[in-house]
Chain A
Amino acid sequence: MPRKIVIIGANAAGSGVASAARKTDREAEITIIEREKYPAYSRCGLPFVLAGEISEFEKLIIFPLAWYKMMKLNLLTETTVQSIDVKEKSIMIKSADGKESTLPYDTLVLATGARSFIPPVKGYDKDGVLALRTIQDGIKFKEKMKSAKAAVIVGAGFIGLETAHALFENKINPIIVEMLPWICPTVFDQDTANIVQKKIEEHGIKVIVGKGVEEILGDTSVTGVKVAGETIPADMVLMATGVRSNTELAVQMGVELGITKAIKVNSRMATNISDVYSCGDCVESQNMLTGLIGMCQLGTTAVRQAKVAGTNAAGGYSVFPGVLGSSVSTFFGVEIGATGLTEFQATRLGLKPISGVVTSKTRADYFPGAKDIRVKIVAEPEFGRIIGCQIVAGEEVTQRVNMISAGIQKQMTIFELAKADTCYAPPVNETWEPIALAAEMAVAKLRR
Protein backbone atom coordinates (compact mmCIF):
# COMPACT_ATOMS: atom_id res chain seq x y z
CA MET A 1 0.00 0.00 0.00
CA PRO A 2 1.66 3.27 -1.04
CA ARG A 3 2.20 5.79 1.72
CA LYS A 4 -0.30 8.66 1.65
CA ILE A 5 1.34 12.00 2.31
CA VAL A 6 -0.81 15.10 2.53
CA ILE A 7 0.74 18.56 2.56
CA ILE A 8 -1.29 21.60 3.54
CA GLY A 9 0.12 24.62 1.73
CA ALA A 10 1.92 24.70 -1.63
CA ASN A 11 4.20 27.69 -1.40
CA ALA A 12 7.91 27.71 -0.58
CA ALA A 13 7.65 25.21 2.27
CA GLY A 14 4.83 23.06 0.89
CA SER A 15 6.32 22.53 -2.55
CA GLY A 16 9.73 21.92 -1.00
CA VAL A 17 8.16 19.20 1.17
CA ALA A 18 6.57 17.63 -1.93
CA SER A 19 9.87 17.59 -3.79
CA ALA A 20 11.81 16.03 -0.90
CA ALA A 21 9.03 13.53 -0.16
CA ARG A 22 8.92 12.38 -3.78
CA LYS A 23 12.70 11.95 -3.85
CA THR A 24 12.52 9.85 -0.70
CA ASP A 25 9.49 7.73 -1.61
CA ARG A 26 8.87 7.17 -5.31
CA GLU A 27 5.66 5.23 -4.74
CA ALA A 28 3.94 7.52 -2.24
CA GLU A 29 0.65 9.22 -3.06
CA ILE A 30 1.41 12.86 -2.41
CA THR A 31 -1.40 15.40 -2.30
CA ILE A 32 -0.83 19.13 -1.82
CA ILE A 33 -3.72 21.32 -0.76
CA GLU A 34 -3.43 25.03 -1.55
CA ARG A 35 -6.11 27.62 -0.90
CA GLU A 36 -4.66 30.25 -3.25
CA LYS A 37 -5.04 30.15 -7.01
CA TYR A 38 -1.30 30.18 -7.60
CA PRO A 39 0.93 27.55 -6.00
CA ALA A 40 4.64 27.96 -5.28
CA TYR A 41 5.44 31.52 -6.20
CA SER A 42 8.11 33.78 -4.82
CA ARG A 43 6.56 36.30 -2.44
CA CYS A 44 10.00 37.84 -2.08
CA GLY A 45 9.81 38.85 -5.72
CA LEU A 46 6.65 40.95 -5.35
CA PRO A 47 8.36 44.32 -4.68
CA PHE A 48 10.59 43.74 -7.71
CA VAL A 49 7.59 43.24 -9.98
CA LEU A 50 6.16 46.49 -8.60
CA ALA A 51 9.48 48.22 -9.31
CA GLY A 52 9.30 47.03 -12.90
CA GLU A 53 12.43 44.87 -12.68
CA ILE A 54 10.39 41.72 -13.26
CA SER A 55 7.90 42.10 -16.05
CA GLU A 56 4.89 40.34 -14.55
CA PHE A 57 3.63 38.53 -11.47
CA GLU A 58 3.37 35.24 -13.38
CA LYS A 59 7.15 35.18 -13.64
CA LEU A 60 7.26 34.63 -9.88
CA ILE A 61 5.78 31.16 -10.19
CA ILE A 62 8.54 28.72 -9.32
CA PHE A 63 7.04 25.40 -10.43
CA PRO A 64 4.78 25.34 -13.46
CA LEU A 65 1.82 22.94 -13.32
CA ALA A 66 3.80 20.56 -15.57
CA TRP A 67 6.28 20.05 -12.73
CA TYR A 68 3.59 18.71 -10.39
CA LYS A 69 2.47 16.34 -13.13
CA MET A 70 6.03 15.20 -13.81
CA MET A 71 6.65 14.49 -10.13
CA LYS A 72 3.27 12.73 -9.86
CA LEU A 73 2.05 15.17 -7.23
CA ASN A 74 -1.68 15.69 -6.79
CA LEU A 75 -2.01 19.47 -6.52
CA LEU A 76 -5.37 20.85 -5.45
CA THR A 77 -5.50 24.64 -5.75
CA GLU A 78 -8.30 26.90 -4.46
CA THR A 79 -9.02 24.12 -1.97
CA THR A 80 -9.36 24.61 1.76
CA VAL A 81 -9.10 22.28 4.73
CA GLN A 82 -12.32 22.23 6.75
CA SER A 83 -11.24 19.91 9.53
CA ILE A 84 -8.69 17.30 10.46
CA ASP A 85 -9.55 14.08 12.27
CA VAL A 86 -6.35 13.04 14.01
CA LYS A 87 -7.69 9.71 15.26
CA GLU A 88 -8.98 8.65 11.86
CA LYS A 89 -6.04 10.32 10.10
CA SER A 90 -8.28 11.98 7.58
CA ILE A 91 -8.94 15.51 6.37
CA MET A 92 -12.12 17.14 5.16
CA ILE A 93 -11.42 19.42 2.21
CA LYS A 94 -13.55 21.82 0.19
CA SER A 95 -12.67 22.46 -3.43
CA ALA A 96 -13.22 25.62 -5.45
CA ASP A 97 -16.63 24.44 -6.64
CA GLY A 98 -17.80 24.01 -3.07
CA LYS A 99 -17.65 20.21 -3.08
CA GLU A 100 -16.50 18.58 0.14
CA SER A 101 -14.53 15.34 0.32
CA THR A 102 -12.36 13.38 2.74
CA LEU A 103 -8.70 12.72 2.23
CA PRO A 104 -6.99 10.04 4.30
CA TYR A 105 -3.31 10.40 5.25
CA ASP A 106 -0.46 8.35 6.67
CA THR A 107 1.70 11.39 7.25
CA LEU A 108 0.63 15.01 7.25
CA VAL A 109 2.71 18.14 6.82
CA LEU A 110 1.41 21.55 7.87
CA ALA A 111 2.97 24.23 5.68
CA THR A 112 0.29 26.79 6.36
CA GLY A 113 2.59 29.80 6.29
CA ALA A 114 1.70 33.15 7.80
CA ARG A 115 -0.50 36.15 7.09
CA SER A 116 0.28 39.84 7.07
CA PHE A 117 -0.10 41.46 10.45
CA ILE A 118 -1.98 44.74 10.24
CA PRO A 119 -1.71 46.66 13.53
CA PRO A 120 -5.25 47.41 14.70
CA VAL A 121 -4.86 51.19 14.68
CA LYS A 122 -8.00 53.25 14.16
CA GLY A 123 -8.80 53.33 10.45
CA TYR A 124 -6.74 50.26 9.54
CA ASP A 125 -9.58 48.90 7.44
CA LYS A 126 -9.97 51.93 5.17
CA ASP A 127 -9.68 51.57 1.43
CA GLY A 128 -6.09 52.10 0.36
CA VAL A 129 -4.50 50.45 3.39
CA LEU A 130 -2.62 47.57 1.85
CA ALA A 131 -0.50 44.56 2.68
CA LEU A 132 2.00 42.88 0.38
CA ARG A 133 2.23 39.16 0.74
CA THR A 134 0.25 37.47 -2.03
CA ILE A 135 0.09 37.93 -5.78
CA GLN A 136 -3.43 39.26 -5.23
CA ASP A 137 -1.95 41.90 -2.90
CA GLY A 138 0.62 42.69 -5.57
CA ILE A 139 -1.99 43.16 -8.27
CA LYS A 140 -4.02 45.42 -5.97
CA PHE A 141 -0.92 47.43 -5.03
CA LYS A 142 0.15 47.86 -8.66
CA GLU A 143 -3.32 49.10 -9.56
CA LYS A 144 -3.34 51.58 -6.67
CA MET A 145 0.06 52.96 -7.69
CA LYS A 146 -1.44 54.15 -10.97
CA SER A 147 -3.60 56.77 -9.28
CA ALA A 148 -1.78 57.39 -5.99
CA LYS A 149 -0.31 60.82 -5.28
CA ALA A 150 1.12 60.23 -1.82
CA ALA A 151 2.15 57.00 -0.11
CA VAL A 152 3.21 56.02 3.38
CA ILE A 153 5.11 52.86 4.22
CA VAL A 154 4.61 51.67 7.76
CA GLY A 155 7.48 49.45 8.89
CA ALA A 156 11.07 49.83 7.75
CA GLY A 157 12.06 46.18 7.42
CA PHE A 158 13.24 44.72 4.13
CA ILE A 159 9.77 44.42 2.61
CA GLY A 160 8.86 48.00 3.51
CA LEU A 161 12.10 49.35 2.09
CA GLU A 162 12.01 47.25 -1.09
CA THR A 163 8.46 48.46 -1.69
CA ALA A 164 9.49 52.05 -0.94
CA HIS A 165 12.02 51.63 -3.72
CA ALA A 166 9.32 50.26 -6.03
CA LEU A 167 7.14 53.31 -5.33
CA PHE A 168 10.14 55.56 -5.98
CA GLU A 169 10.68 53.81 -9.35
CA ASN A 170 7.04 54.60 -10.09
CA LYS A 171 7.65 58.29 -9.37
CA ILE A 172 5.88 58.22 -6.01
CA ASN A 173 8.18 59.26 -3.16
CA PRO A 174 6.78 57.49 -0.10
CA ILE A 175 7.28 58.55 3.49
CA ILE A 176 8.61 55.71 5.60
CA VAL A 177 7.50 55.42 9.22
CA GLU A 178 9.28 53.07 11.63
CA MET A 179 8.06 52.64 15.19
CA LEU A 180 11.38 51.47 16.63
CA PRO A 181 14.32 53.86 17.10
CA TRP A 182 16.07 52.90 13.85
CA ILE A 183 15.29 51.17 10.55
CA CYS A 184 15.78 47.41 10.00
CA PRO A 185 15.87 46.98 13.80
CA THR A 186 15.82 43.19 13.76
CA VAL A 187 19.00 42.91 11.69
CA PHE A 188 20.95 46.13 12.23
CA ASP A 189 22.45 48.12 15.05
CA GLN A 190 21.79 51.85 15.01
CA ASP A 191 25.13 52.73 13.40
CA THR A 192 24.48 50.51 10.38
CA ALA A 193 20.84 51.61 10.20
CA ASN A 194 21.82 55.28 10.13
CA ILE A 195 24.07 54.72 7.13
CA VAL A 196 21.32 52.94 5.23
CA GLN A 197 18.80 55.60 6.20
CA LYS A 198 21.11 58.28 4.79
CA LYS A 199 21.29 56.41 1.46
CA ILE A 200 17.49 56.30 1.33
CA GLU A 201 17.16 59.98 2.20
CA GLU A 202 19.62 60.86 -0.57
CA HIS A 203 16.86 59.78 -2.95
CA GLY A 204 14.49 62.38 -1.57
CA ILE A 205 12.61 59.91 0.61
CA LYS A 206 11.64 61.01 4.12
CA VAL A 207 12.23 58.50 6.89
CA ILE A 208 10.63 58.87 10.33
CA VAL A 209 11.94 56.64 13.12
CA GLY A 210 10.97 56.15 16.72
CA LYS A 211 7.36 57.10 16.05
CA GLY A 212 4.34 54.89 15.54
CA VAL A 213 1.19 55.32 13.50
CA GLU A 214 -1.59 56.51 15.79
CA GLU A 215 -4.45 56.64 13.34
CA ILE A 216 -5.30 56.22 9.70
CA LEU A 217 -7.42 59.13 8.56
CA GLY A 218 -10.07 59.46 5.92
CA ASP A 219 -13.64 58.53 5.21
CA THR A 220 -13.94 55.16 3.51
CA SER A 221 -10.62 55.71 1.76
CA VAL A 222 -7.39 56.75 3.39
CA THR A 223 -6.45 60.41 3.14
CA GLY A 224 -3.67 60.58 5.68
CA VAL A 225 -1.70 58.95 8.45
CA LYS A 226 -1.30 60.45 11.95
CA VAL A 227 2.20 59.95 13.31
CA ALA A 228 3.13 61.48 16.71
CA GLY A 229 0.44 64.09 16.41
CA GLU A 230 1.46 65.11 12.89
CA THR A 231 -0.72 64.34 9.86
CA ILE A 232 0.99 62.94 6.77
CA PRO A 233 -1.17 63.09 3.64
CA ALA A 234 -1.48 59.72 1.91
CA ASP A 235 -3.89 57.96 -0.44
CA MET A 236 -2.13 54.65 -0.11
CA VAL A 237 -0.54 53.04 2.91
CA LEU A 238 1.52 49.85 3.00
CA MET A 239 1.46 48.00 6.30
CA ALA A 240 4.80 46.22 6.25
CA THR A 241 4.59 45.39 9.91
CA GLY A 242 5.37 41.71 9.98
CA VAL A 243 3.45 38.48 9.76
CA ARG A 244 1.70 36.08 12.09
CA SER A 245 1.80 32.32 11.71
CA ASN A 246 -1.33 30.56 10.47
CA THR A 247 -1.95 28.11 13.28
CA GLU A 248 -5.74 27.71 13.26
CA LEU A 249 -5.65 24.19 11.79
CA ALA A 250 -2.84 23.20 14.12
CA VAL A 251 -4.78 24.36 17.17
CA GLN A 252 -7.97 22.73 15.92
CA MET A 253 -6.25 19.34 15.67
CA GLY A 254 -4.33 19.58 18.92
CA VAL A 255 -0.86 20.34 17.55
CA GLU A 256 1.15 22.05 20.27
CA LEU A 257 2.19 25.65 19.83
CA GLY A 258 5.43 26.94 21.31
CA ILE A 259 6.33 30.02 23.33
CA THR A 260 6.16 32.13 20.17
CA LYS A 261 2.59 30.93 19.57
CA ALA A 262 3.81 29.37 16.35
CA ILE A 263 3.87 25.60 15.79
CA LYS A 264 6.43 23.79 17.93
CA VAL A 265 8.64 21.29 16.12
CA ASN A 266 11.69 19.21 16.98
CA SER A 267 14.83 18.96 14.86
CA ARG A 268 13.08 16.53 12.52
CA MET A 269 10.34 19.10 11.99
CA ALA A 270 7.93 16.78 13.84
CA THR A 271 5.07 18.15 15.95
CA ASN A 272 3.78 16.60 19.16
CA ILE A 273 1.32 14.49 17.16
CA SER A 274 2.88 11.43 15.58
CA ASP A 275 3.07 11.46 11.78
CA VAL A 276 2.35 15.20 11.71
CA TYR A 277 5.19 17.50 10.63
CA SER A 278 5.39 21.22 10.03
CA CYS A 279 7.77 23.73 8.46
CA GLY A 280 8.07 27.23 7.04
CA ASP A 281 6.52 30.49 8.25
CA CYS A 282 4.12 28.67 10.57
CA VAL A 283 6.76 27.12 12.83
CA GLU A 284 9.16 28.45 15.41
CA SER A 285 12.90 27.87 14.98
CA GLN A 286 15.88 27.35 17.21
CA ASN A 287 18.78 29.76 16.87
CA MET A 288 22.05 27.89 16.18
CA LEU A 289 24.01 30.46 18.15
CA THR A 290 21.96 31.00 21.29
CA GLY A 291 19.80 27.89 21.36
CA LEU A 292 16.82 30.18 21.92
CA ILE A 293 13.47 29.64 20.22
CA GLY A 294 12.22 32.43 18.01
CA MET A 295 10.69 33.21 14.65
CA CYS A 296 12.75 33.07 11.48
CA GLN A 297 10.21 33.57 8.73
CA LEU A 298 12.46 33.71 5.69
CA GLY A 299 12.20 31.99 2.31
CA THR A 300 15.55 30.32 2.82
CA THR A 301 14.46 28.90 6.17
CA ALA A 302 11.22 27.61 4.64
CA VAL A 303 12.91 25.63 1.88
CA ARG A 304 15.59 24.23 4.15
CA GLN A 305 13.05 23.11 6.73
CA ALA A 306 10.85 21.75 3.95
CA LYS A 307 13.58 19.45 2.69
CA VAL A 308 13.94 17.99 6.19
CA ALA A 309 10.20 17.72 6.83
CA GLY A 310 9.54 16.17 3.41
CA THR A 311 12.28 13.56 3.83
CA ASN A 312 11.03 12.58 7.29
CA ALA A 313 7.35 12.55 6.28
CA ALA A 314 8.21 10.10 3.51
CA GLY A 315 9.96 7.69 5.88
CA GLY A 316 13.50 9.02 5.54
CA TYR A 317 15.83 10.60 8.12
CA SER A 318 16.95 14.21 8.08
CA VAL A 319 17.59 16.83 10.77
CA PHE A 320 17.37 20.62 10.78
CA PRO A 321 20.29 22.24 12.60
CA GLY A 322 18.58 25.55 13.40
CA VAL A 323 18.79 29.08 12.05
CA LEU A 324 21.03 32.11 12.12
CA GLY A 325 18.69 34.46 10.31
CA SER A 326 20.98 35.23 7.37
CA SER A 327 19.20 37.73 5.18
CA VAL A 328 19.96 40.17 2.39
CA SER A 329 18.11 42.84 0.46
CA THR A 330 18.67 45.57 -2.08
CA PHE A 331 17.03 48.94 -2.64
CA PHE A 332 17.94 52.54 -3.49
CA GLY A 333 21.23 51.48 -5.05
CA VAL A 334 22.53 49.68 -2.01
CA GLU A 335 22.80 46.02 -0.97
CA ILE A 336 22.44 45.19 2.69
CA GLY A 337 22.77 41.95 4.59
CA ALA A 338 23.17 40.50 8.03
CA THR A 339 23.40 37.29 10.00
CA GLY A 340 23.51 36.28 13.63
CA LEU A 341 23.08 38.78 16.45
CA THR A 342 23.38 42.55 16.49
CA GLU A 343 25.31 44.20 19.32
CA PHE A 344 21.98 45.37 20.70
CA GLN A 345 20.52 41.84 20.71
CA ALA A 346 23.71 40.34 22.14
CA THR A 347 23.73 42.88 24.97
CA ARG A 348 20.12 42.08 25.82
CA LEU A 349 21.12 38.44 26.15
CA GLY A 350 23.75 39.40 28.74
CA LEU A 351 26.78 39.19 26.46
CA LYS A 352 29.35 41.97 26.23
CA PRO A 353 29.85 42.06 22.49
CA ILE A 354 32.71 43.77 20.72
CA SER A 355 32.68 44.80 17.10
CA GLY A 356 35.09 45.54 14.32
CA VAL A 357 34.06 47.92 11.54
CA VAL A 358 35.81 48.62 8.27
CA THR A 359 34.85 50.81 5.36
CA SER A 360 36.48 49.90 2.07
CA LYS A 361 35.79 49.40 -1.62
CA THR A 362 34.28 46.48 -3.55
CA ARG A 363 37.01 46.60 -6.22
CA ALA A 364 40.55 47.92 -6.29
CA ASP A 365 40.29 51.58 -5.41
CA TYR A 366 41.71 52.56 -8.79
CA PHE A 367 39.37 50.26 -10.72
CA PRO A 368 36.36 51.88 -12.41
CA GLY A 369 33.05 51.07 -10.79
CA ALA A 370 34.43 50.42 -7.31
CA LYS A 371 31.68 50.94 -4.73
CA ASP A 372 31.72 51.60 -1.01
CA ILE A 373 31.43 48.70 1.41
CA ARG A 374 31.08 48.77 5.17
CA VAL A 375 31.49 45.59 7.16
CA LYS A 376 30.67 45.27 10.84
CA ILE A 377 31.56 42.06 12.62
CA VAL A 378 30.18 41.39 16.07
CA ALA A 379 32.02 38.99 18.41
CA GLU A 380 31.83 37.62 21.92
CA PRO A 381 35.02 38.64 23.77
CA GLU A 382 35.79 35.66 26.01
CA PHE A 383 35.94 33.06 23.24
CA GLY A 384 36.51 35.51 20.41
CA ARG A 385 33.68 33.83 18.49
CA ILE A 386 31.93 35.66 15.70
CA ILE A 387 28.28 36.10 16.57
CA GLY A 388 27.04 38.39 13.83
CA CYS A 389 27.73 40.69 10.92
CA GLN A 390 26.07 43.64 9.18
CA ILE A 391 27.19 44.63 5.70
CA VAL A 392 26.17 47.61 3.57
CA ALA A 393 27.67 48.02 0.12
CA GLY A 394 27.04 49.09 -3.44
CA GLU A 395 27.43 45.43 -4.47
CA GLU A 396 28.70 41.97 -3.45
CA VAL A 397 27.06 41.63 -0.05
CA THR A 398 25.34 38.26 -0.45
CA GLN A 399 28.32 35.91 -0.53
CA ARG A 400 30.04 37.81 2.25
CA VAL A 401 27.04 37.25 4.52
CA ASN A 402 27.01 33.59 3.44
CA MET A 403 30.69 33.26 4.30
CA ILE A 404 30.25 34.66 7.78
CA SER A 405 27.12 32.58 8.34
CA ALA A 406 29.09 29.44 7.55
CA GLY A 407 31.84 30.68 9.87
CA ILE A 408 29.40 31.26 12.73
CA GLN A 409 27.95 27.79 12.15
CA LYS A 410 31.47 26.42 12.71
CA GLN A 411 32.01 28.69 15.74
CA MET A 412 34.83 30.50 13.95
CA THR A 413 36.72 33.15 15.91
CA ILE A 414 37.71 36.63 14.82
CA PHE A 415 41.36 35.51 15.10
CA GLU A 416 40.77 32.86 12.44
CA LEU A 417 38.64 35.08 10.21
CA ALA A 418 41.28 37.83 10.27
CA LYS A 419 43.68 35.37 8.65
CA ALA A 420 41.28 33.73 6.21
CA ASP A 421 42.70 32.96 2.76
CA THR A 422 40.54 35.29 0.69
CA CYS A 423 40.83 36.12 -2.98
CA TYR A 424 41.02 39.19 -5.16
CA ALA A 425 41.52 40.51 -8.62
CA PRO A 426 41.32 44.28 -9.20
CA PRO A 427 37.97 44.18 -11.01
CA VAL A 428 36.28 42.25 -8.20
CA ASN A 429 37.90 43.01 -4.84
CA GLU A 430 40.45 44.96 -2.88
CA THR A 431 43.70 43.13 -2.02
CA TRP A 432 42.66 43.16 1.61
CA GLU A 433 39.25 41.52 1.97
CA PRO A 434 37.04 43.90 4.02
CA ILE A 435 35.68 41.03 6.09
CA ALA A 436 39.14 39.94 7.19
CA LEU A 437 40.00 43.56 8.00
CA ALA A 438 36.84 44.00 10.06
CA ALA A 439 37.74 40.85 11.99
CA GLU A 440 41.21 42.32 12.54
CA MET A 441 39.64 45.53 13.92
CA ALA A 442 37.69 43.39 16.40
CA VAL A 443 40.86 41.53 17.41
CA ALA A 444 42.61 44.85 17.97
CA LYS A 445 39.86 45.90 20.35
CA LEU A 446 40.37 42.75 22.40
CA ARG A 447 44.07 43.21 22.62
CA ARG A 448 43.85 46.78 23.87
Chain B
Amino acid sequence: MVKVGEYEVQEGLYYHSEHFWAKVEGDSVRFGATDYGQKALREVVFIELPKVGDEVSQNEAYGTVESVKAVIDLIAPVSGKIKEINEKLTDTPDLINNNPYGDGWLILVTPSKLDDELKNLMTFEAALTWYQELAKGG
Protein backbone atom coordinates (compact mmCIF):
# COMPACT_ATOMS: atom_id res chain seq x y z
CA MET B 1 0.00 0.00 0.00
CA VAL B 2 1.40 3.41 -0.94
CA LYS B 3 0.15 6.72 0.40
CA VAL B 4 -0.19 9.70 -1.94
CA GLY B 5 -1.08 12.69 0.22
CA GLU B 6 -3.86 11.31 2.40
CA TYR B 7 -5.00 8.67 -0.10
CA GLU B 8 -3.92 5.05 -0.07
CA VAL B 9 -3.17 3.37 -3.39
CA GLN B 10 -2.87 -0.42 -3.51
CA GLU B 11 -0.33 -2.29 -5.62
CA GLY B 12 -1.37 -5.03 -8.01
CA LEU B 13 -4.56 -3.31 -9.12
CA TYR B 14 -5.77 -1.51 -12.24
CA TYR B 15 -7.38 1.90 -11.71
CA HIS B 16 -10.37 3.58 -13.37
CA SER B 17 -10.64 7.38 -13.45
CA GLU B 18 -14.02 7.28 -11.70
CA HIS B 19 -12.20 6.01 -8.60
CA PHE B 20 -12.75 2.28 -8.90
CA TRP B 21 -10.17 -0.52 -9.03
CA ALA B 22 -10.05 -3.86 -10.84
CA LYS B 23 -8.05 -6.87 -9.66
CA VAL B 24 -7.30 -9.76 -11.96
CA GLU B 25 -7.74 -13.03 -10.03
CA GLY B 26 -7.06 -15.91 -12.40
CA ASP B 27 -10.02 -15.94 -14.81
CA SER B 28 -12.06 -13.49 -12.72
CA VAL B 29 -11.84 -9.77 -12.07
CA ARG B 30 -12.85 -8.20 -8.77
CA PHE B 31 -14.11 -4.59 -8.61
CA GLY B 32 -13.99 -2.15 -5.73
CA ALA B 33 -13.84 1.56 -4.84
CA THR B 34 -10.53 3.30 -4.21
CA ASP B 35 -9.56 5.05 -0.99
CA TYR B 36 -9.95 8.39 -2.80
CA GLY B 37 -13.46 7.40 -3.86
CA GLN B 38 -14.58 6.31 -0.40
CA LYS B 39 -13.12 9.43 1.20
CA ALA B 40 -14.98 11.66 -1.25
CA LEU B 41 -18.24 9.91 -0.46
CA ARG B 42 -17.74 9.83 3.30
CA GLU B 43 -19.78 7.26 5.24
CA VAL B 44 -21.61 4.94 2.88
CA VAL B 45 -25.16 4.24 4.00
CA PHE B 46 -26.67 2.34 1.10
CA ILE B 47 -25.52 0.36 -1.90
CA GLU B 48 -27.50 -0.88 -4.88
CA LEU B 49 -25.89 -3.79 -6.71
CA PRO B 50 -27.18 -5.82 -9.67
CA LYS B 51 -27.69 -9.61 -9.61
CA VAL B 52 -25.37 -12.49 -10.29
CA GLY B 53 -25.58 -13.24 -13.98
CA ASP B 54 -26.09 -9.62 -15.04
CA GLU B 55 -23.76 -8.11 -17.62
CA VAL B 56 -21.59 -5.08 -16.97
CA SER B 57 -19.84 -2.93 -19.60
CA GLN B 58 -16.62 -0.97 -19.27
CA ASN B 59 -17.26 2.68 -18.33
CA GLU B 60 -20.97 2.08 -17.78
CA ALA B 61 -22.88 2.31 -14.53
CA TYR B 62 -24.05 -0.95 -12.97
CA GLY B 63 -25.30 0.25 -9.60
CA THR B 64 -25.15 3.13 -7.14
CA VAL B 65 -23.60 3.91 -3.79
CA GLU B 66 -25.10 6.48 -1.43
CA SER B 67 -23.67 8.33 1.51
CA VAL B 68 -25.41 10.86 3.76
CA LYS B 69 -24.80 13.76 1.41
CA ALA B 70 -23.84 12.16 -1.88
CA VAL B 71 -24.76 9.53 -4.44
CA ILE B 72 -22.62 8.21 -7.27
CA ASP B 73 -22.81 5.53 -9.95
CA LEU B 74 -20.73 2.39 -9.71
CA ILE B 75 -18.74 2.32 -12.95
CA ALA B 76 -17.41 -0.96 -14.36
CA PRO B 77 -13.67 -0.86 -15.04
CA VAL B 78 -14.03 -3.79 -17.50
CA SER B 79 -16.89 -5.65 -19.20
CA GLY B 80 -18.08 -9.06 -18.13
CA LYS B 81 -20.73 -11.20 -16.44
CA ILE B 82 -21.29 -10.98 -12.71
CA LYS B 83 -20.12 -14.10 -10.88
CA GLU B 84 -20.47 -12.90 -7.29
CA ILE B 85 -21.68 -9.82 -5.44
CA ASN B 86 -20.47 -8.80 -1.98
CA GLU B 87 -23.53 -9.68 0.16
CA LYS B 88 -21.88 -8.23 3.28
CA LEU B 89 -22.41 -4.74 1.88
CA THR B 90 -26.18 -4.92 2.38
CA ASP B 91 -25.82 -5.01 6.15
CA THR B 92 -22.47 -3.29 6.44
CA PRO B 93 -22.16 -0.80 3.58
CA ASP B 94 -19.44 1.09 5.42
CA LEU B 95 -17.03 -1.79 4.64
CA ILE B 96 -16.41 0.31 1.54
CA ASN B 97 -15.04 3.06 3.81
CA ASN B 98 -13.20 0.84 6.28
CA ASN B 99 -11.62 -1.62 3.87
CA PRO B 100 -12.01 -0.37 0.30
CA TYR B 101 -9.31 -2.64 -1.12
CA GLY B 102 -10.25 -5.72 0.93
CA ASP B 103 -13.60 -6.66 2.52
CA GLY B 104 -15.28 -3.67 0.89
CA TRP B 105 -15.04 -5.16 -2.63
CA LEU B 106 -18.13 -4.72 -4.80
CA ILE B 107 -18.54 -7.49 -7.39
CA LEU B 108 -16.60 -10.33 -9.03
CA VAL B 109 -16.99 -10.77 -12.80
CA THR B 110 -15.97 -13.17 -15.52
CA PRO B 111 -14.40 -10.71 -17.99
CA SER B 112 -15.38 -10.74 -21.66
CA LYS B 113 -12.72 -8.51 -23.27
CA LEU B 114 -10.06 -8.34 -20.58
CA ASP B 115 -6.86 -7.98 -22.63
CA ASP B 116 -8.29 -5.20 -24.78
CA GLU B 117 -10.00 -3.34 -21.98
CA LEU B 118 -7.12 -3.43 -19.48
CA LYS B 119 -5.31 -1.11 -21.90
CA ASN B 120 -7.91 1.55 -21.05
CA LEU B 121 -7.18 1.42 -17.33
CA MET B 122 -4.27 2.85 -15.35
CA THR B 123 -1.63 0.53 -13.99
CA PHE B 124 -0.57 1.01 -10.36
CA GLU B 125 2.40 3.16 -11.45
CA ALA B 126 0.25 5.33 -13.73
CA ALA B 127 -2.33 5.64 -10.95
CA LEU B 128 0.34 6.88 -8.51
CA THR B 129 1.22 9.70 -10.89
CA TRP B 130 -2.43 10.51 -11.46
CA TYR B 131 -3.17 10.63 -7.71
CA GLN B 132 -0.19 12.90 -7.20
CA GLU B 133 -1.77 15.33 -9.68
CA LEU B 134 -5.13 15.06 -7.92
CA ALA B 135 -3.57 15.65 -4.51
CA LYS B 136 -2.01 18.86 -5.81
CA GLY B 137 -5.22 20.04 -7.42
CA GLY B 138 -7.19 19.55 -4.20
Contact = CB atoms under 8 A, between A and B. Distances in A.
A66 interface: yes
B64 A66 contact: no
Contacts of A67: 40, 69-70
A206 interface: no
Contact of A70 (B64, B66, B72, B138): B72
A70 B20 CA distance: 13
A124 B40 CA distance: 45
B40 A19 contact: no
Contact of A26 (B64, B70, B138): B64
A58 to B, nearest CB: 11
Contacts of B52: none
For the complex, would chain A's binding face be called helix, strand, loop or mixed by DSSP majority? helix
A369 B41 CA distance: 38
B138 A22 contact: no
Nearest to B68: A19
A19 B70 contact: yes
Interface string A62-94: 011011001100000000000000000000000
Contacts of A23: 66, 71
Nearest to B36: A66
A66 B39 CA distance: 11
Given A26-B64, A66-B40, A71 B138 contact: no
Interface in B64-105: 64, 66, 69-73
B40 A26 contact: no
Contacts of A66: 40, 138
B36 to A, nearest CB: 10
Interface string A120-150: 0000000000000000000000000000000
Contacts of A70: 40-41, 70, 72
A70 B18 CA distance: 9
Given A66-B40, A70-B40, A19 B69 contact: yes
A448 to B, nearest CB: 48
Contacts of A22: 70-71
Nearest to B42: A67
B135 to A, nearest CB: 12
A338 B37 CA distance: 39
A64 B41 CA distance: 12
Nearest to B41: A70
Nearest to A19: B69
A19 B41 CA distance: 12
Contacts of A19: 69-70
B75 to A, nearest CB: 12
Contacts of B72: 70-71
Nearest to B72: A70
Nearest to A16: B69
A22 B65 CA distance: 12
Contacts of B73: 26
Interface in A30-68: 63-64, 66-67
B70 A71 contact: yes
Nearest to B134: A66
A64 B71 contact: no
Contacts of A26: 64, 71, 73
Contacts of A71: 70-72
A72 to B, nearest CB: 8
Interface in A360-396: none
Contacts of B40: 66-67, 70
Contacts of A63: 69
Interface in B23-82: 40-41, 64, 66, 69-73
A15 to B, nearest CB: 9
A23 B70 CA distance: 7
Interface in B90-138: 138
A66 B64 CA distance: 18
Contacts of B69: 19, 63, 67
A66 B70 CA distance: 12
A385 B41 CA distance: 42
A64 B70 contact: no
Nearest to B69: A19
Contacts of B70: 19, 22, 67, 70-71
Contacts of B41: 70
A23 B72 CA distance: 9
9 contacts: A19-B69, A22-B70, A23-B66, A26-B71, A63-B69, A66-B138, A67-B70, A70-B70, A71-B71
The 10 tightest CB contacts between A and B, nearest first, are A23-B71, A19-B69, A70-B40, A71-B70, A22-B71, A70-B72, A66-B40, A70-B70, A23-B66, A67-B70
Given A23-B66, A26-B73, 4 more contacts: A19-B69, A63-B69, A66-B40, A67-B69
